[in-house]
Amino acid sequence: MSVLHLLYLLHQVEAVSQFSSSGSLPMDLFSLQSILLLFLASLYFYFFFFFFSSSGKKLAGADGRGGGIKNYPILGSLPEFFMNRSRFLDWTTGVLASSPNNTLLFVRPGGSNGIITANPVNVEHILKTRFDNYPKGETFIAILDDFLGKGIFNSDGELWRIQRKTASYEFNSRSLRNFIMENVTVELRSRLVPILEAAAGSCRTLNLQDIFERFAFDNVCKLAFNFDPGCLAGDGTGRNEFMLAFEEAAKLSYDRFMYLFPSMQKIKKLLNVGSERRLRNAIATVHRFAEDIIRSRIENRRMRMEEKASGRQEEADLLSRFFDIENISAEFLRDIVISFILAGRDTTSSALTWFFWLLSRSPAVEERILEELGAVRARNGKLAGDNLYSFEELREMQYLQAAILEAMRLHPPVPVDTKDCLMDDVLPDGHVIKRGWFITYNTYAMGRMESIWGKDFGEFKPERWLDSDRGGGRTAMVCRQESPFKYPVFHAGPRICLGKDMAYIQIKSIVAAVLTRFRVDVLNRNSRPEEVLSLTLRMKGGLPVRVKPRSAAGDERD
């Protein structure tokens, strides 16, 4: 590992040298920063060679028992983190499972430590009971400020409350129904289904993750500011600059959390080299597109107000609701738009991608979903494949709802979230947390804890979510809702996701439309895809599939 560390640091020095020689950076600044970079590299290797080989000790839990992460002299938990950061989710899941109360202490040089937990009582404490003591915090906000600015997912206090209250009006039941009927249904009928039909006819391989990301991007843009980027238009393979830049900015922004020494990221940003240069370019593209849309909307606002005065109804979308906030700036509107695109695009597409991979490995689950789809149509006097499903029909699909919940238990779109601690506190499980520490709740690990889900926690088993209901003269299966603190896939407490119900309906409408028409054959379904940690959980390389018409697919799998 030491050779890899050396190559990485040498690469950073080489990048600085090349950047300086281009004449784009004054030599005095280059000399100062290169000396600082070399000093940090030397300091790192001093610690690495003299202390890394020493026997680290496990960090004990609050009750004094073993478990946890090895703590090395001077460097604390950083060596363990660095060695496992490429498999961060699996590593932390394993460590948390063996730690007392599924909670552990993370030691950082300088005394600013943190807590990582997969314990529901701790999650409820930080997200609800002591909500005001655990904000996003300055560190988290600073890391994402370039990309998300002061948007709802990167703000605290009154700034957050204003955005949440304003946005909540768009997520009432009538808006939800209109969104499904007007936007998702149109996108399914005119874009997604025709693309899958064309692929089925030509036996072409599709990247289903890419298809779902385009679908979700188009829909959230329509919802957020009534703009159709057309990412899934035509054959669904066009390269939209806005979408590509958005994806790049999200991935590189998350990578800032993974630096062994945060100072390295700040130096790279100052010098505008490597990943920080790519991030700056991606964010500039995202901002340009968002600002152009907002500028156009502001210019058209007077016209819309005149139409409203003459009796015509003003078009309502998420962005239009924020125009009424007094003294709101175009920059703030831009931050709002970007935050909601992030939520609507990445969470839905991530959930759908992992769902179809899990379904490809579970033919019995797929068969039960198909039976439910047919039964729903039969109760409404329609054929199973007749047109698209209505809002009421989607709400009847209890087994499909359970399967979606189960897929997100194993592969949550947002696998981890972090808060800052404002004042000293004691968590319900006895762990002490100090002012200035961070606390991370690991949703991915929580979905894989035997202490929460039982011995079959590793199985894709929708039945765990179903209860029998004998009302109305017949026995039916009803999907049970678990505590959001046990299942914080859509967050919990005052910051619970506003679009949770909208996401479920959108996912169900897509799954139902696809499965009634096509059999989806996932290539290499027996190999676990590599997880890519961005701000959401994605598959490395996407999800390659071939689709066949359901009527001609038969029962055998390739």
Q: Which parts are annotated binding residues for heme?
A: 497
CB 427 within 8 A of CB 414: no
The neighbouring-strand residues paired with 8 are none
Between helix 274-309 and helix 262-271 the angle, nearest 10°, is: 70
Q: Identify which of 264, 288, 285, 286 has the alpha carbon closest to the alpha carbon of residue 276.
A: 264
Which secondary structure element, helix H or strand E, spans residue 157, and what is its range? Answer: helix 157-168
How far, in Å, are 136, 277, 331, 338 from residue 150 at the CA level? 12, 22, 9, 10
User: What residue numbers does the annotated binding site cover?
Assistant: 497
Residue 195 CB coordination number (10 Å): 21
Distance CA 50, CA 53 (A): 7
CB 229 within 8 A of CB 217: yes
Residue 154 CB coordination number (10 Å): 22
DSSP letter at 256 equals G
Residue reference for tokens 């015509």:
312
**Strand 537-539 relative to strand 416-420: parallel, antiparallel, unpaired?**
unpaired
Q: Identify which of 416, 102, 109 has the alpha carbon closest to the alpha carbon of residue 257.
A: 416
End-to-end CA gap in the chain: 41
How far, in Å, are 359, 486, 522, 540 from residue 354 at the CA level? 9, 20, 11, 12
Q: Count Cβ atoms within 10 A of the Cβ of residue 431 and give its class: 0-12 exposed, 13-18 middle, 19 or more buried.
A: buried
CB 492 within 8 A of CB 482: no
Amino acid at 509: S
Distance CA 229, CA 222 (A): 8
Question: Based on C-alpha coordinates, what's the Rg of the chain?
Answer: 25
Residue reference for tokens 């829909």:
219
| Full 3-state SS string of 271-297 | HCCHHHHHHHHHHHHHHHHHHHHHHHH
CB 449 within 8 A of CB 354: no
